[in-house]
Chains A and B, each alone.
Chain A
Amino acid sequence: MPVIMCVGMLMQINPVQANDIAAKDAVSTISIRYKSATEFVIDLGVHSCCYIYQDSVKLYSKRQSAEIFAEALTRTISHTDEYFGDVEIYREQAFYSVKTKSSTGHPPPKRFDMVIEYRACADIGICFLPEQKTLRIENPFVFE
């Protein structure tokens, strides 16, 4: 089992490439790296032109029986907006550790849909419509 976990930590499963995402998006890639039956890491790749507002990032499960607890692993950068003042943003990448739990007391869910929301702007002074993407989580460490 530890060997499988190490392999899981090294490989990236279910990568979503930039071409799959709407071209007018600050996020270039979204990758999921499964670490164990109850934990995975989400990696948002951010285009060099753009940044994401930390307080806009939300991750939640679409399945009621699959609870998730997300924690940011990336340090934010302070940014001053003319109108909103001092805010925290992500550039280049944003990692989130996501822990899963079954709300029904059963083993952790193998598959469920997770939603990621974020709001981003580009340095040229334009902002993009708030994004909402659904990712299919299919944890290889959970056996049915």
Chain B
Amino acid sequence: MKAFPKISHLLIAVTALVAVTAGVILSNPEPAMDQDAALIAQRAIFTAPDGERFSVESWAGQYRIVNFWATWCPPCLEEIPLFIRLQERFVDNNVTFIGIAVDKVDLVRSFVEANGVNYPILVGSGDALEVSKIMGNYRAGLPYTVFLDPNGVILDRHFGVVPESKIAKFVAKILK
């Protein structure tokens, strides 16, 4: 008889814990992403630092790691050397990095030249951020990176600096 209150207390505690956990999860839902809208967003045309115009769709048929960044964003600049190194490493694996800068063309051009960026860079301003939002960047922060298959389907995405291990896993899956 003495054990009964203890079990009931335990049950109440567990139930409360589950309810609180569920409440926390439900109150912070990650907004669902519309893959169709994301595909359309990939057609948005941006200008490269040399004046040519491209969209993310220009590289259709390849696995793409699309990174939204800016020269005024310190964590964005932190990860670019990694992208340069990995672009060189994965160049023969049908993988390309694409940088979309939410920035001014002249600042991006200077940065790209000074740092030897070896993958396509496109430049937009607020519209580039809007495209990133359609592609799942509901926090509207930078850097934001999406991983696309050759058809433009978003396989994965990452807020903040992408760990090298995440890119390695993505490429390992492709090479399987």
Check: A143 CB closer than 8 A to any chain B CB: no
Chain A residue nearest to B128 (CB atoms) is: A129
Check: A1 CB closer than 8 A to any chain B CB: no
Interface size on A, residues (CB 8 A): 16
Interface residues of B (CB under 8 A from A): 70, 72-78, 102, 126, 129, 139-144, 159-161
Mostly helix, strand, loop or mixed at chain A's interface? loop
Known contacts A24-B140, A127-B141, A129-B102, A83 near B126 by CB under 8 Å:
no
Smallest CB separation, B136 vs chain A (Å) = 13
Smallest CB separation, A120 vs chain B (Å) = 10
Contact (Cβ within 8 A) B74 A121: yes
Q: How many A-B residue pairs have CB under 8 A?
A: 49
A125 to B161, CA, bound (A): 7
Interface string of A37-59 (1 = CB under 8 A from B): 00000000000000000000000
- Out of B72, B73, B129, B160, which one reaches A124, CB within 8 Å? B160
Contact (Cβ within 8 A) A126 B144: yes
- Out of B70, B74, B139, which one reaches A81, CB within 8 Å? B74
A22 to B139, CA, bound (A): 11
Q: With contacts A82-B77, A119-B72, A125-B161 known, what are 17 further pairs, Cβ within 8 A?
A: A81-B74, A121-B73, A124-B160, A125-B160, A126-B139, A126-B142, A126-B143, A126-B144, A126-B159, A126-B160, A127-B70, A127-B75, A128-B140, A128-B142, A129-B102, A129-B142, A130-B72
Please indicate which of the listed interface residues A22, A24, A130 has the most CB atoms of chain B within 10 Å of its own CB.
A24
A125 to B139, CA, bound (A): 12
Check: A18 CB closer than 8 A to any chain B CB: no
- Residues in chain A near residue B78, CB distance under 8 A: 82-83
Smallest CB separation, B21 vs chain A (Å) = 21
